Amino acid sequence: MRVFVSRKIPEPGLEILKKHFDVDVYEGDSPISRKELLVRAKGCDGILPLLTDKIDSEIMDITGIKAIANYAVGYDNVDVQAATERKIPLTNTPGVLTDATADLTFALILAISRRIVESDKYLRAGKWKGWDPMLLLGGDFVNRTIGIIGMGRIGKAVARRAKGFGMNIIYVDHEQQSDIEKEVDAKKVTFSECLQNSDYLTLHIPHTSETHQLIGIKELKQMKPSAYLINTSRGKVINEEELITALAKRIIAGAGLDVFFDEPEINPELVKLDNVVIVPHIGSASLETRTNMAIIAAENLVEALTGKKPKNIVNPEIYYK
Ligand code: GLV
Ligand code: GLV
């Protein structure tokens, strides 16, 4: 069997694939074009795409792929319904990137609130005249409230870190998450309560039709003017134009963003703002995490193509029918 990997991933993942399949790896240094993806994946049994590759019904039908092992926990780049209708197993990489993503979330919280990037620029620009009681004052964490939208694995890992900083934790989720409530004294609240009471609001939800542009000007106006918004999930869960307006008008204090509406395109108005810290979708970007993602995605693809139900199946219903 033949599989296509749409970008060079850490070697341990490729080694697993090579034990079982003929492996073709795209060696380009930016995301593969749709045209090239169609050509290279055509006739392959499986594909290991990145979150930057749109895998829709056309790709499925033209290539004839029989399994998709996404190199990400999020899978809004894949038309899940089209895969399910074609009985194509789709897998993701949950679990292994939970801590790295929670760490990055906290890095953004600290960076925006304690003005790390601004301070670094200030120092490099030679502006520092000496210790100053009023210089670069930022926000606090102890006894402040963090609001977590989406108390899944990553939300819970963020909650544990927040507990360490002495923060109050509130959350929004479809389900009562009793385990984390007991562990860190988190309280489930309504969406509005979460917006109104959070000093730091952080998003840990997948991008679906239900969460598309969940946060816009109407929601931002409910937040405290001193609050910060953090997003390490998907850019499309925020109405970015409205966020930019809110940041420019100081309707909220600032934002820390790892993901963007049209990434890698960045709205030029966002770059002009000084109350935002922006990083290029690096939530899972630690060496160990990216290696583990490669291993898990490869194992998923091996399982899917050798007639087993993969550990991280996204559409298990294809095995029931
Ligand atoms: C990264 O954004 C992922 O979904 O794994
Ligand atoms: C992703 O791993 C999540 O469940 O938050």
Mutate to test the pocket of ligand 2, among 98, 99, 177, 203 (most ligand atoms within 8 A of CB): 98
Same domain, 172 and 312: no
Same domain, 239 and 167: yes
Same domain, 85 and 120: no
Q: What angle do CA 206, 79, 307 make, to 5 degrees?
A: 100
What is the model's pLDDT at position 302? 98
How many angstroms separate the alpha carbon of residue 74 from the centre of ligand 1?
5
pLDDT tens profile 95-151: 999 999 999 999 999 999 999 999 999 999 999 999 999 999 999 999 999 999 999
How many angstroms separate the alpha carbon of residue 314 from the centre of ligand 2?
13
Paired tokens of 304: 């899917």
For ligand 1, atom 5, which residue shows the shortest CA distance?
72
H or E element at residue 197: helix 191-197
> Which residues contact ligand 1 via a Cβ below 6 A?
51, 72-74, 97, 283-284
Print the domain residue range for 230. 98-278
pLDDT tens profile 267-287: 999 999 999 999 999 999 999
- What is the Cα–Cα distance from 23 to 132, expressed in whole angstroms? 59
What is the model's pLDDT at position 315? 98
What is the model's pLDDT at position 148? 99
Same domain, 106 and 54: no
Whether the predicted pLDDT of 318 surpasses 90: yes
Same domain, 250 and 208: yes
- Single out the residue of 303, 314, 309 nearest to residue 46, CA to CA: 303
What is the model's pLDDT at position 10? 98
* Crossing angle (nearest 10°) for helices 98-113 and 116-124: 60
At 51, the pLDDT band (50, 70, 90 cuts) reads very high
Same domain, 189 and 82: no
Nearest atom (ligand 2) to Cα of 97: 2
Q: What does each C-alpha distance from 89 to 3, 50, 208, 209 come to in angstroms? A: 14, 16, 19, 21
What is the model's pLDDT at position 59? 98
What's the predicted TM-score (pTM) here?
A: 0.95
Instruction: Identify residue 30 by its one-letter amino acid code.
Output: S
> Which residues contact ligand 2 via a Cβ below 6 A?
73, 94, 98, 152-155, 204
Nearest atom (ligand 1) to Cα of 97: 5
**Alpha carbon 2 to chain centroid, angstroms:** 30
CATH number for the domain that contains residue 308: 3.40.50.720
- What is the Cα–Cα distance from 12 to 248, expressed in whole angstroms? 45
pLDDT tens profile 300-312: 999 999 999 999 9
Whether the ω angle into residue 264 lies within 30 degrees of 0, i.e. cis, is yes
Same domain, 250 and 135: yes
Q: What angle do CA 171, 177, 179 make, to 5 degrees?
A: 120
Whether the predicted pLDDT of 89 surpasses 90: yes
Same domain, 123 and 247: yes
Count of domains observed in the chain: 2
Nearest atom (ligand 2) to Cα of 95: 2
How many angstroms separate the alpha carbon of residue 176 from the centre of ligand 1?
24
Beta-bridge partners for 3:
23, 46
How many angstroms separate the alpha carbon of residue 19 from the centre of ligand 2?
30
Whether the predicted pLDDT of 2 surpasses 80: yes
pLDDT tens profile 167-211: 999 999 999 999 999 999 999 999 999 999 999 999 999 999 999
How many angstroms separate the alpha carbon of residue 72 from the centre of ligand 1?
4
- What is the Cα–Cα distance from 21 to 166, expressed in whole angstroms? 50
Tokens 């820390």, located at residue = 256
What is the model's pLDDT at position 252? 98
Same domain, 229 and 305: no
The catalytic residue positions are: 234, 263, 281
Number of residues written out for the chain: 321
Three-state DSSP state, 299: helix
For ligand 2, atom 2, which residue shows the shortest CA distance?
94
Paired tokens of 159: 């909650």
Within 13 Å and on the Cβ side, how many CA atoms surround 261? 16
Same domain, 91 and 128: no
Query: Average pLDDT, stretch 219-239?
Result: 98
H or E element at residue 47: strand 46-48
Whether the predicted pLDDT of 321 surpasses 90: no
Backbone φ, ψ for residue 95 (5° rounding): 85, -60
Same domain, 169 and 76: no
Nearest ligand to the CA of 96 is 2
For ligand 1, atom 4, which residue shows the shortest CA distance?
74
